[in-house]
Amino acid sequence: METATQVMTETSSKEAAEQALSTGERVAVLTPGNQGALTVAANAYRREHLLNLTPVQVIKKLYDTAIMACKTNDASLAQRAITQLILGLNFEYEEIAVGLFGLYQYSKECIRKGDTASAAHVLEELRSAWVQAFKL
């Protein structure tokens, strides 16, 4: 079974590349001789960073991952991130968990139908509430 860290590591790679391109940062040229070492080092750094996140930060990052995946039409990644959010629900707080579960299922259904904009909107609202609640 895939973990939240694996899902977020994949997103971190995409985000880093997109950020570098959008800000005009110099990106190291990967040659056959250095590509493997750079990739391994970058993945190790990302994994270490993600492992040190608090549970609240992990949930925020999963929202970020799902939203970014919806906006880039990466349905597979969006579905996997939402699945991780569902796995993190605590049904001891039934009313909240059931409500979130329904919204996550709705988002997954929207993505399955190709309506990533609706899914992104729901996830952005949930992320916003999460950030406000925990002052992130």
Separation of alpha carbons 109 and 112, rounded Å? 5
To the nearest whole number, what is the mean pLDDT of the chain? 82
Instruction: State the pLDDT confidence band at 15, using cuts at 50, 70 and 90.
Output: low
Q: Is the pLDDT of residue 119 over 50?
A: yes
**What is the rounded CA–CA span in Å between residue 76 and residue 111?**
9
Ranges of each domain in the chain:
4-134
More confident residue, 21 or 81: 81
Tell me the average pLDDT across 3-30: 56
**4-134 topology per CATH:** Four Helix Bundle (Hemerythrin (Met), subunit A) (1.20.120)
pLDDT digits (tens, 9 = 90+) for 57-115: 999 999 999 999 999 999 999 999 999 999 999 999 999 999 999 999 999 999 999 99
**Would the pTM of this model clear 0.85, i.e. be above it?**
no
Residue 86 Cα distances to 4, 27, 44, 45, angstroms: 11, 36, 26, 26
The answer to whether residues 131 and 57 touch, using CB atoms and an 8 Å cutoff, is no
Q: Is 64 left (phi over 0), alpha (psi -120 to 50) or beta?
A: alpha
Q: Please tell me which residue, 28 or 85, carries the higher pLDDT value.
A: 85
